[in-house]
C-alpha cells in the first residue's frame, strides 16, 4: 500500500482514476489532477507548503516533489512528465513539459509551457525557462528551441504512454 497521510490536518486529494504505486509516498497538502500516475518510490511531500499537480501528469520512479517552508509552493500543470529520479522543488512547471531523468529544478523557477528540461540538467534558483525551449547542462542553459515534432513526438507521447502504462496496473 502506498503511504498517503495527512500532515497538520491537510490530507492529500487524489482522484480515483489515478495510479499510485504500492511504495509511493504522498503526504500533506497535495492535490492531484485526473489521469495522473505516481510511480514506484516517488515521494510527494506537501508538509511545508502546498503542492498542486494538474491532469495527466506522471511522476516517475524515484522522483521527489517538495517545496520550501512558507515560501515556495510547487505547482505542476497539465500533461507533464517528471522523469525517473528527478527533483522538483518549490517551483512552477506549466503545461506540456518534460522534466528529464535525474534533473533538478530548484526554488522559484518557472518552466513555461511546451518546454523540455534535459536529463541530468540542474535548473538553478529563479531561472525562467521560456516557452518552447530546451534547457540542458549544469547549470541549465537554453540549448535550442523546441520543434512541433518534439512537442507531439516526445512531450505528448510520453504523457500518453504513462496513462496507458498505469492502466496495466489497474487490471
Model confidence over 108-132: pLDDT tens digits?
A: 999 999 999 999 999 999 999 999 9
- In this prediction the pTM is 0.96
Say which CATH topology domain 3-168 has. UDP N-Acetylglucosamine Acyltransferase; domain 1 (2.160.10)
Q: State the average pLDDT for the chain.
A: 96
> Which CA distances in Å does 110 have to 66, 89, 129, 163, 171?
15, 11, 6, 25, 37
pLDDT, tens digit (0-9, with 9 covering 90-100), for 27-76 = 999 999 999 999 999 999 999 999 999 999 999 999 999 999 999 999 99
The stretch 155-165 carries a mean pLDDT of: 94
**CB 77, CB 98: distance < 8 Å:** no
**CB 103, CB 129: distance < 8 Å:** no
Q: How confident is the model at residue 80 (pLDDT cuts 50, 70, 90)?
A: very high
Amino acid at each position: 500500500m502506498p503511504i498517503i497521510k495527512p500532515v497538520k490536518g491537510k490530507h492529500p486529494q487524489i482522484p480515483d482514476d489515478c495510479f499510485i504505486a504500492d511504495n509511493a509516498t504522498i503526504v500533506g497538502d497535495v492535490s492531484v489532477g485526473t489521469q495522473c500516475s505516481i510511480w514506484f518510490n516517488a515521494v510527494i511531500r506537501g508538509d511545508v507548503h502546498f503542492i498542486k499537480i494538474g491532469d495527466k501528469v506522471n511522476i516517475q520512479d524515484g522522483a521527489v516533489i517538495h517545496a520550501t517552508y512558507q515560501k515556495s509552493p510547487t505547482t505542476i500543470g497539465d500533461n507533464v512528465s517528471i522523469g525517473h529520479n528527478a527533483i522538483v522543488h518549490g517551483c512552477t512547471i506549466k503545461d506540456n513539459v518534460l522534466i528529464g531523468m535525474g534533473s533538478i529544478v530548484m526554488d522559484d523557477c518557472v518552466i513555461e509551457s511546451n518546454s523540455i528540461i534535459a536529463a541530468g540538467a540542474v535548473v538553478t534558483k529563479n531561472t525562467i525557462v521560456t516557452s518552447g525551449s530546451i534547457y540542458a547542462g549544469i547549470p541549465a542553459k537554453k540549448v535550442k528551441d523546441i520543434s512541433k515534432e518534439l512537442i507531439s513526438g516526445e512531450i505528448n507521447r510520453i504523457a500518453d504512454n504513462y496513462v496507458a502504462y498505469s492502466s496495466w496496473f489497474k487490471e
